[in-house]
């Protein structure tokens, strides 16, 4: 499939790898570079919105509207200076059907119909494997960023996740990886990093994202990490990741 804008799917090799946090951070950093960004939450936990200061009780979102037969795009929120548009998932009932909204190509086709600005990037926060919205995101994406934990589980699951992404239509050169929650004081973290670098080569971000208490503190206060603790290690790591990805997204985009 040809894309005229970069659509980055952010997903974890397993749950708890920090995909939502990193998706929000990338969207904010690119917004602050005056680049148009659309951030869309495909996770039923509906947490991406909290990184942008939305109230906890706010229930609106694309899936909620779609299930009600309304225009899902009207769930979008303008964040800050209008360079960033947020589309929350919306609160859904626990027993909502697990089939997802429409065929696997639904999101891809819907995003293609939206009015786009030059240079726009779309960041999709993908749920765990086995959820229909994940397949929606993979079919829509031009690139993927896989969040890895610095533990043996990441190594064990890596091949299966990459096979899933290939099946979704993404070639290897458009799948990138980053290690999150990295603790340099733990020998195993370093050993896992070396193993992953040997296996993934240049597709693995050159720097891991370090485990940093400032990330949790910023989320608890519903403030961007870059405002709450701009000099923190994690903030610097995320800035480096955003630059590294920008080069690859711009180089790999077919058009725009």
Cβ atoms within 10 Å, residue 231: 8
Q: Helices H, strands E: what count in the chain?
A: 9, 7
- Contacts of residue 248, defined as CB under 8 A and 6 or more positions apart, other chains included, come to 143, 176
Signed CA dihedral, 80, 101, 4, 163: sign only: positive
Evaluate whether 12 touches 22 at the Cβ level (below 8 Å). Answer: no
Please choose, from the candidates 151, 209, 246, 204, the residue with its C-alpha nearest in 3D space to the C-alpha of residue 21. 209
Taking the C-alpha atoms of residue 107 and residue 72, their distance in angstroms, rounded to an integer, is 11
**Digitized pLDDT (tens) for each residue of the chain, 256 residues in all:** 445 679 999 999 998 899 999 999 999 999 999 999 999 999 999 999 999 888 888 888 899 888 888 888 888 888 877 789 999 999 887 655 555 556 788 899 999 988 788 889 999 999 987 788 999 999 999 999 999 999 999 999 999 999 999 998 999 999 999 999 999 999 999 999 999 999 999 999 999 999 999 999 999 998 999 999 999 999 999 999 999 999 999 985 544 3
200 alpha carbon, distance to own chain's centre: 20
Tokens of 163: 């096979």
Taking the C-alpha atoms of residue 104 and residue 120, their distance in angstroms, rounded to an integer, is 23
The end-to-end CA distance of the chain, in Å, is 14
Evaluate whether 135 touches 100 at the Cβ level (below 8 Å). Answer: yes
Neighbour-count burial for 62-95, b at 16+ CB within 10 Å, e otherwise:
bbbbbbeeeebbebbbebeeebbbbbbbbbbeee
- Contacts of residue 255, defined as CB under 8 A and 6 or more positions apart, other chains included, come to 2, 3, 4
For the chain, domains (ranges, CATH) are: 6-252 (3.40.50.300)
């Amino acid at each position: 499939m040809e894309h005229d804008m970069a659509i980055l799917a952010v997903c974890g090799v397993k749950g708890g790898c920090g995909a939502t946090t990193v998706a929000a951070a990338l969207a904010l950093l690119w917004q602050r570079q005056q680049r148009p960004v659309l951030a869309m939450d495909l996770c039923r936990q509906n947490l991406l919105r909290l990184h942008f200061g939305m109230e906890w009780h706010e229930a609106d979102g694309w899936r909620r509207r779609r299930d009600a037969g309304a225009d899902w795009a009207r769930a979008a929120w303008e964040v800050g200076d209008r360079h960033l548009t947020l589309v929350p998932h919306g609160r859904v009932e626990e027993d909502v059907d697990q089939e997802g909204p429409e065929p696997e190509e639904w999101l891809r086709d819907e995003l293609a119909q939206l009015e786009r600005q030059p240079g726009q990037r779309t960041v999709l926060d993908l749920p765990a494997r086995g959820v229909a919205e994940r397949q929606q995101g993979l079919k829509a994406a031009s690139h993927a960023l896989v969040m890895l934990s610095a533990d043996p589980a990441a190594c064990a699951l890596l091949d299966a996740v990459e096979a899933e992404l290939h099946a979704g239509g993404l070639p290897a050169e458009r799948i990138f990886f980053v290690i999150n929650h990295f603790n340099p004081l733990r020998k195993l973290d370093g050993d896992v990093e070396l193993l992953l670098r040997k296996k993934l080569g240049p597709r693995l971000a050159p720097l891991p994202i370090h485990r940093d208490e400032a990330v949790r503190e910023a989320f608890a206060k519903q403030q961007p990490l870059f405002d709450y603790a701009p000099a923190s290690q994690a903030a610097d790591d995320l800035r480096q990741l955003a630059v590294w990805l920008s080069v690859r997204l711009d180089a790999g985009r077919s058009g725009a």
